[in-house]
C-alpha cells in the first residue's frame, strides 16, 4: 500500500502532467515519468509479482513491467501516457476505452496488459497519419458527431474497426440473413454495431451520419 | 482485485498443472471474470491464460458436424462459414449477445462459464446472496426480481443464466468437451449447466481443474428451419428478458424432431421438453402454435415482479416457432 504522502506526491505529478485530465486511480503502481523511452522497468512498490509484456502501440514498440492486474486501459493511460484512451465505466459497458488490437476493437478496461504480448495496438492517437485526420476523424468533424468529446476516442476507434468488419462481410444482429449475401452499411447496421459505445450527450444521429459518410468514401 | 500470479501456458497439460494452484482461474477473454474481480465477487490469486493452447480452431467433424475450439472468439464463431451456412441459429445467438467489442474478446468456453448478472450477486454491497456467499440468503426472493427465473428456481436462488449462445447450443444438442486431471469428458450441453437447488454457488457440472477444450455441434438438418428470438428492454446490448431458440428437423413437410430452448427464464438454458416433444411427427400445416407455446411455460412459477415473463415467453415461443416452420 502507498502511504498518503506518496500518493499525494504522485497525484501532484499527475495533475501537473495532464492538466484537466480525469484523475483515475491505477492499481497500486506509481505513475511513470513521461514515456520518452520505450522501456518501462520500474519495480512495483508492493510485493506483487511483476510481469513483463511487450507490444506495439501506434507503431512504437514498448516493453513494460507491470503488476499483472494492470488492465490494458491503465497501462496505456498511466504507463504510456496515451490519455486519449478514456476510462468511463471501467466495466465494459460504455466503450470509452475502445482500442483496436490486431485489427479488432476491444474494451481495454476488461483485459489485462499482460495478455497482449506481441500485439499491435492502435489508440485514437494512432488514427491520424502524418498529422492529417483519418477519413473517420474528418467525417466526425464534418458531421459534428460529438459534444463534450469524452466518448469520442472510443467512438472513433470503434467506428474505424466497424468499417473493416463490414469489408470483411462480418454479420451483426441487424443483418437480415446471416447465411447469404453481402452485409450492407445501412443505418440499422451502424446503430447495432455501435451499441457498445455510449454517448451521454446523445450525439448518436450525427455519429451515424459520420460513419455512413466515411463508409461510403471507402 | 487481489495480487495476481499470471501464467501463459503453451499446452493443455501445462494449463491443467498451473490451474492446480489455490484460487486459480482460467482466463479466456476475461470480459466477465475481470469485471467480477474488480467487483470483488471473484477472488482469483492465479490466472491461467488459455489463449495460447491451440483451442482457437473451427473444423468439420467426421460425423458431419462441427467442432468449435473453446478459445474461439464469439465474433469468429458467429462469422465462420461453417456456422453461418449450417448453423445460422448459432450465429444469430452469438450476434444477439453483448457488444461488438465484447464479442471480439469473449471466447466460447468463457461464454459457457459466464455468471449471472443478478444485481445481488454482482454487487458485494448486498449481504444476502447464496451464490456469492453460501448460506447468506437470497435477497432477490423478496427484492428486485423482475429479471429473474420463472422455471427451475429454488428457495435458495432465483438467478438466471445470461448466455445467448448457450440457448442455441441447447437447441442444437451440442456437447461440451472438457479435459481435466482425471482425463477427458464429453458433457451434453443440457447437463453442463445446473439448476440452483441447495447449491446455487455451483453453476456447472465441471469438476475442479477441468478445462473446456471445445464444443461439438452434431450434424443438423435444422439449418433453415431454425430461429433465435431475443426479447429485451432495448434493441441492442442488453441481456434477454426472454429468448427462444428453435431448431426443427423437417426433412419433408413433417417435423422429425424439434428442440425448443429458452433463455432468461432459468438458472440454466432451459430445454422445453414437453413443447419440443409435442412437435414430433406433426405436419408443418398442422401445428397448434398456442398449445405448443403454452406447454413451454406450463411449469412456470412467477416471483413478485416477473409474472410478465410467462406470457412474454409464451408469445416469444409462438413467434420463433412460426418463423422456424415457415422459413423456406
Q: Tell me how many residue pairs between chain A and chain B have CB atoms under 8 A apart.
A: 115
pLDDT at position B43 is 97
The overall average pLDDT reported for chain B is 97
B165 — pLDDT class (breaks 50, 70, 90): very high
Q: Across the interface, which of B6, B38, B85 has its CB nearest the CB of A68?
A: B6
Residue B186 has pLDDT above 90, yes or no: yes
Q: Which residues of B touch A67 (CB under 8 A)?
A: 3-4
pLDDT at position B223 is 84
Q: Which residues of A touch B122 (CB under 8 A)?
A: none
pLDDT at position A43 is 56
The per-residue pLDDT for range B90-112, each reduced to its tens digit, is: 999 999 999 999 999 999 999 99
The per-residue pLDDT for range B36-67, each reduced to its tens digit, is: 999 999 999 999 999 999 999 999 999 999 99
pLDDT at position A41 is 59
pLDDT at position A47 is 66
Q: Residue B102 and residue A191: Cβ atoms within 8 Å?
A: no
The per-residue pLDDT for range A99-125, each reduced to its tens digit, is: 999 999 999 999 999 999 999 999 999
Phi, psi of B175 (to 5 degrees): -125, 135
- What global pTM score does this model have? 0.92
pLDDT at position B222 is 79
Query: What structural domains and CATH numbers belong to chain A?
Result: 4-126 (3.10.20.30), 135-217 (1.10.150.120)
Percentage of residues of chain A with pLDDT beyond 90: 74
Interface of B with A (CB under 8 A): 1, 3-6, 8, 27, 29-31, 34-35, 38, 47, 49, 51, 75, 78-79, 84-85, 88, 91-92, 95-96, 98-102, 104-105, 223, 235-237
Grid coordinates in use for A194? 455501435
A14 — pLDDT class (breaks 50, 70, 90): very low
pLDDT at position B250 is 92
Contact B96, B5 (CB under 8 A): no
Query: What structural domains and CATH numbers belong to chain B?
Result: 5-51 (3.30.43), 226-326 (3.30.390.50)
Please name which of A113, A96, A127, A208 lies closest in space to residue B101, comparing C-alpha atoms: A96
SS3 string, chain B, reads CCCCEEECCCCHHHHHHHCCCCCEEEECCCCCHHHHHHCCCCCCCEEEECCCCCCCCEEECCCCCEEEECCCEHHHHHHCHHHHHHCHHHHHHHHHCCCHHHHHHCEHHHHHHCCCCCHHHHCCCCCCECCCCCCCCECCCCCCCCCCCCCCCECCECCCCCCCHHHHHHHCCCEEEEEECCEEEEEEHHHHECCCCCCCCCCECCCCCCEEEEEEECCCCCCCCEEEEEECCCCCCCCCCEEEEEEEECCCCECCEEEEEEECCCCCCEECHHHHHHHCCCECCCCCHHHHHHHHCCCCCCCCCCCCHHHHHHHHHHHHHHHHHHCC
Q: What is the mean pLDDT of residues A79-96?
A: 98
Lowest mean pLDDT among A28-32, B13-17, B80-84: A28-32
Shortest CA gap B297–chain A (Å): 26
Grid coordinates in use for A24? 483515475
Q: Residue A95 and residue B102: Cβ atoms within 8 Å?
A: no
Shortest CA gap B236–chain A (Å): 6
Residue A44 has pLDDT above 60, yes or no: no
Q: Across the interface, which of B49, B84, B100 has its CB nearest the CB of A193?
A: B100
Total residue count of chain A as it appears in this document: 218
CA distance B242 to B314: 10
The per-residue pLDDT for range B118-151, each reduced to its tens digit, is: 999 999 999 999 999 999 999 999 999 999 999 9
Please name which of A165, A162, A154 lies closest in space to residue A199, comparing C-alpha atoms: A154
Total residue count of chain B as it appears in this document: 328
Helix (H, G, I), strand (E, B) or coil at A173: coil
A21 — pLDDT class (breaks 50, 70, 90): very low
Amino acid at each position: 500500500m502507498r502511504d498518503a504522502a506518496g500518493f499525494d506526491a504522485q497525484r501532484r505529478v499527475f495533475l501537473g502532467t495532464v492538466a484537466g485530465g480525469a484523475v483515475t486511480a491505477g492499481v497500486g503502481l506509481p505513475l511513470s515519468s513521461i514515456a520518452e523511452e520505450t522501456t518501462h522497468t520500474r519495480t512495483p512498490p508492493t510485493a506483487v509479482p511483476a510481469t513483463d509484456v511487450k507490444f506495439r502501440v501506434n507503431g512504437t514498440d514498448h516493453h513494460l513491467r507491470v503488476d499483472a492486474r494492470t488492465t490494458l486501459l491503465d497501462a496505456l493511460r498511466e504507463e504510456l501516457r496515451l490519455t486519449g484512451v478514456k476510462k468511463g465505466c471501467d466495466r465494459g459497458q460504455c466503450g470509452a476505452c475502445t482500442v483496436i488490437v490486431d485489427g479488432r476493437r476491444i474494451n481495454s478496461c476488461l483485459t489485462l496488459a499482460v495478455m497482449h504480448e506481441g500485439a499491435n495496438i492502435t489508440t485514437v492517437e494512432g488514427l491520424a497519419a502524418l498529422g492529417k485526420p483519418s477519413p473517420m476523424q474528418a467525417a466526425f468533424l464534418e458531421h459534428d458527431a460529438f459534444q463534450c468529446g469524452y466518448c469520442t476516442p472510443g467512438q472513433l476507434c470503434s467506428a474505424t474497426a466497424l468499417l473493416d468488419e463490414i469489408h470483411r462481410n462480418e454479420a451483426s444482429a441487424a443483418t437480415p440473413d446471416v447465411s447469404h449475401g453481402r452485409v450492407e452499411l445501412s443505418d440499422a447496421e451502424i446503430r447495432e454495431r455501435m451499441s457498445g459505445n455510449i454517448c451521454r450527450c446523445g450525439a448518436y444521429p450525427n455519429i451515424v451520419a459520420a460513419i455512413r459518410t466515411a463508409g461510403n468514401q471507402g | 482485485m487481489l495480487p495476481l500470479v499470471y501464467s501463459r501456458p503453451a499446452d493443455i497439460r501445462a494449463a491443467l498443472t498451473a490451474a492446480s494452484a489455490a484460487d486459480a482461474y482460467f482466463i479466456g477473454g476475461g470480459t466477465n471474470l475481470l469485471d467480477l474481480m474488480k467487483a470483488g465477487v471473484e477472488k482469483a490469486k492465479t490466472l491461467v491464460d488459455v489463449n495460447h493452447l491451440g483451442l482457437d480452431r473451427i473444423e468439420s467433424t467426421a460425423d458431419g458436424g462441427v467442432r468449435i475450439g473453446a478459445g474461439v472468439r464469439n465474433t469468429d464463431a458467429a462469422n465462420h462459414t461453417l456456422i453461418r451456412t449450417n448453423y445460422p441459429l448459432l450465429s444469430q445467438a452469438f450476434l444477439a449477445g453483448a457488444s461488438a467489442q465484447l464479442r471480439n474478446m469473449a471466447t466460447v468456453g468463457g461464454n459457457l462459464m459466464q455468471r449471472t448478472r443478478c444485481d445481488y450477486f454482482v454487487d458485494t454491497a448486498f449481504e444476502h446472496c447464496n451464490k456469492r456467499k453460501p448460506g447468506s440468503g437470497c435477497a432477490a426472493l423478496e427484492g428486485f426480481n423482475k429479471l429473474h427465473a420463472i422455471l427451475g428456481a429454488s428457495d435458495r436462488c432465483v438467478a438466471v443464466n445470461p448466455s445467448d449462445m448457450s440457448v442455441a447450443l441447447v437447441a442444437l444438442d451440442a456437447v461440451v468437451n472438457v479435459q481435466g486431471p482425471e482425463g477427458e469428458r464429453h458433457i451434453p450441453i443440457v447437463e453442463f449447466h445446473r439448476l440452483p437447488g441447495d447449491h446455487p454457488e455451483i453453476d456447472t457440472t465441471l469438476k475442479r481443474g477441468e478445462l473446456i477444450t471445445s464444443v461439438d455441434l452434431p450434424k443438423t438438418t435444422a439449418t433453415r428451419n431454425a430461429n433465435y428470438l431475443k426479447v429485451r428492454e432495448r434493441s441492442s446490448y442488453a441481456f434477454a428478458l426472454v429468448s427462444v431458440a428453435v431448431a426443427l428437423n423437417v426433412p419433408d413437410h413433417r417435423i422429425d424432431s424439434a428442440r425448443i430452448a429458452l433463455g432468461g427464464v432459468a438458472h440454466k438454458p432451459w430445454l422445453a421438453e414437453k413443447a419440443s416433444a409435442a412437435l414430433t411427427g406433426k405436419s408443418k400445416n398442422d401445428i397448434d402454435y398456442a398449445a405448443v407455446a403454452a406447454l413451454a411455460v406450463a411449469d412456470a412459477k412467477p416471483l413478485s415482479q416477473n409474472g410478465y415473463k410467462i406470457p412474454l415467453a409464451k408469445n416469444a415461443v409462438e413467434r420463433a416457432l412460426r418463423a422456424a416452420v415457415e422459413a423456406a
